[in-house]
Chains A and B, each alone.
Chain A
Amino acid sequence: MEKTLQKSPESKAGKLIAVVLIAALYIFLYLLDNVLPPNSFTLMLIPVLKKGAIYSLICVSMNLLNGFTGLFSLGQAGFLLVGAYAYSIFTIPADQHDAVYQYFEGGAIRFSVPEALGRVLGENAGNILGAILCIIFAGLVAAAFAALIGIPVLRLKSDYLAIATLGFAEIIRAIFQWNGLGPVTNGSNMLRKYTDFSDIQIGSVKLATAFPFLISMICIAIIVLLIHSSYGRAFKAVRDDEVAAEAMGISLFKHKMLSFVISSFFAGVGGALLAMYQTTIQANAFKSAMTYEILLIVVIGGIGSVSGSCIASFLYIACNEWWLRFLDSGSFFGISVPFFRDGFRKVVFSVLIMVIVLFFSRGIMGDKELSFAGLMRKHKKKATGGVEGGGQA
């Protein structure tokens, strides 16, 4: 399939368009961070873009597990939490420890990776490199947790696996909130003052919005490569038919474990980025409701569709945190509407979700991917024969 795609002229043109679009995106992000004057539009756009990019990664990582390997896991919030903490603990500047760990005499870990690197490489380089190192570290810690949890729970099937992973996420949360670990995790209190997006710059070029895009794009690209590799096919085989997969020599445990660990690695990276975005983190926020939200986005985007997950992430975040806010304001285009009051936005939002779930039960993209080559082929077909084109791989 890929082979034929590479040969077709549409595919070449499609690739070109993709490259141009990505370049345009980064130029836009650069302008957004550095040149464009803040106005009410760009101000709202920036956080939505950042969070959308981060959620894209988180959702794709969940999709890898639920959509491509068919493992129904509800532990994502737990791995996000682990990633977020692993990242923040090691990036809090030394002189901030007393303030952050106010109840734990400054905490047990009193160094910061970006700061240490900054002393050698200069502050900006230290921040970027330190942040990237700690993000990778966050992923690794989450992956290690996943490996430990995976050994017992991956033997379970479908709903039992779901509830066991959900349970583990809750256990992780309780442990991180435990005062006994306070010197490291700060107990129930929030971690803050660590390196966040606003600290990321090269020279005078700010990368606050471009950075999460870059990291999450690289990670998603790796996931896509994985999905299209021999291992990705093995994952799909496990999803489609476990018995047949095993009979064809695909070790169920090994591949489930791989998928679980890799998905958790990227969830950990996502958690670290989320921590950077929020500028403060608290274990309390990583509840099972967060996992449901992610699952919801994955399904709205289409189970088994990477581009679906990304599109749905941006739409979901934008609707939830931006476009629908006017519904709470009590007026619409200056006209006062009595039932537009606090909470109405959320009612409308949940109705919207129900409508999507009921009428597009396979999600926005189904299990198809968005591809420019495919779009062009479809366009051509329409132009020449007027035949309704099917989905593209």
Chain B
Amino acid sequence: MSEKKPVLHVENITMQFGGVMAVNDLSLDVPEGQIIALIGPNGAGKTTAFNCITGVYEPTNGLVEFCGLPMVRNHPRGKMKKLYQGKDADKYAHDPAIAPTPDRITELGIARTFQNIRLWKSMTVFDNVLTAKHMRADQNVFSATFRTNAKEEKRMRAETEALLVEQNLLQYRDELAVSLPYGLQRRLEIARALATSPKLLLLDEPAAGMNPQETAELAAFIQQIRKEYDLTVFLIEHHMDLVMQISDYIYVIDFGSEIARGVPQEIQNDQRVIDAYLGVSEE
């Protein structure tokens, strides 16, 4: 995995809510062009880690680099100085803290989906995807209002149309997004994320609530879009089949801390992982 430079580099990320360590000293690398998975049992802190990367939360400590650029960086400050229980409290203390908002991070090229689908409920399928193109459009509020951006708007619409065709969603273009069946909503959410032209796609439990057949389709779909859009994919999942099938490399966390990392075969046979999932027997 060292032959390619990592797109996403996470170093000593710690997220502490009051006295609870949701994520503890997590470090990982997501190399370009690969599919990397972060797995763990329910409540292990996977989504929190995602939220730290995408700027929804400001991590208590740690660094996130995207394509070599420090994107999020923090060290325990203010009240947290006393409360902090994690390691490496001083590691980043000498660098200024950076905490960009999620929209800035998306602009840099990271797009994400959500565990509990968050589509824009009053909009049609088409508008959901079109709206995601807003950020990349070359326009301002005046040119948009007075239609001097007509070319740009036309381009956005055409691209959206094309994206819908590629994702097999065209037949639903004028339907309300929330009226689609669950599986399609998931796919639409991915399509919407793709519309922001990301380099890195973060998928938060994309297979949640899907049956085995849908999951298999999804696996193929993820691999397909990675190729077509030249993406790097980082996903959270506890659907083992899917993860084992498509991942190039897997990180396992439990109670916020990493317990294992490796290629699928290694993880499959790792005792700690099995314990974490099945629970350690008491005797």
Contacts and interface: CB of A to CB of B under 8 A. Distances in A.
Interface in A250-277: 250-253, 258, 262
A230 B54 contact: no
A223 to B, nearest CB: 9
A225 interface: yes
Given A236-B123, A241-B120, A244-B120, A230 B132 contact: no
A258 to B, nearest CB: 6
Contacts of B136: 249
Interface string B188-222: 00001101100000000000000000000000000
Given A226-B145, A252-B101, A247 B127 contact: no
B80 to A, nearest CB: 21
A3 interface: yes
A3 B173 CA distance: 12
Contacts of A239: 122
A247 B54 contact: yes
A1 B101 contact: no
A249 B195 CA distance: 11
B153 A246 contact: no
Contact of A249 (B107, B121, B127, B147): B107
A229 B144 contact: yes
Contacts of B144: 226, 229-231
Nearest to B130: A233
A243 interface: yes
B119 A244 contact: yes
Contact of A252 (B103, B126, B132, B192): B103
Interface stretch (B5-13, B66-74, B110-118, B251-259): B110-118
A222 B145 contact: yes
B278 interface: no
A240 interface: yes
Interface in A1-28: 1, 3-4
B85 interface: no
B180 interface: no
B124 interface: yes
Contacts of B157: 3
Contacts of B193: 248
Interface in B86-125: 101-104, 106-107, 111-112, 114, 118-124
Interface residues of B, number: 43
Contacts of B126: 1
A367 B135 contact: no
A234 interface: yes
B249 to A, nearest CB: 25
Contact of B123 (A3, A222, A230, A233): A233
B122 A249 contact: no
A237 interface: yes
B54 A237 contact: no
Interface in A84-107: none
Contact of B132 (A3, A248, A258, A262): A248
A248 B123 contact: no
B156 A230 contact: yes
A251 B135 CA distance: 9
A253 B104 CA distance: 12
Given A230-B156, A249-B103, A250-B103, A225 B145 contact: yes
A230 B106 contact: no
Contact of A246 (B103, B122, B127, B133): B103
Nearest to B161: A3
A247 B146 CA distance: 27
Contacts of A247: 54, 56, 102-103, 106, 111-112, 114, 118
A223 B199 CA distance: 35
B141 A226 contact: yes
A248 B101 contact: no
Contacts of A246: 56, 101-103, 106
13 contacts: A226-B141, A230-B134, A233-B123, A236-B120, A236-B131, A241-B121, A246-B102, A247-B106, A247-B118, A248-B106, A248-B135, A252-B103, A258-B141
Interface of A: 1, 3-4, 222, 225-226, 229-231, 233-234, 236-237, 239-241, 243-253, 258, 262, 304, 367
Pairs of residues from A and B, 5 with the lowest C-beta to C-beta distance, nearest first: A249-B135, A249-B106, A244-B118, A240-B120, A229-B144
Given A230-B137, A241-B121, 11 more contacts: A1-B124, A231-B141, A231-B145, A234-B131, A237-B120, A237-B123, A241-B119, A243-B118, A246-B101, A247-B118, A249-B103
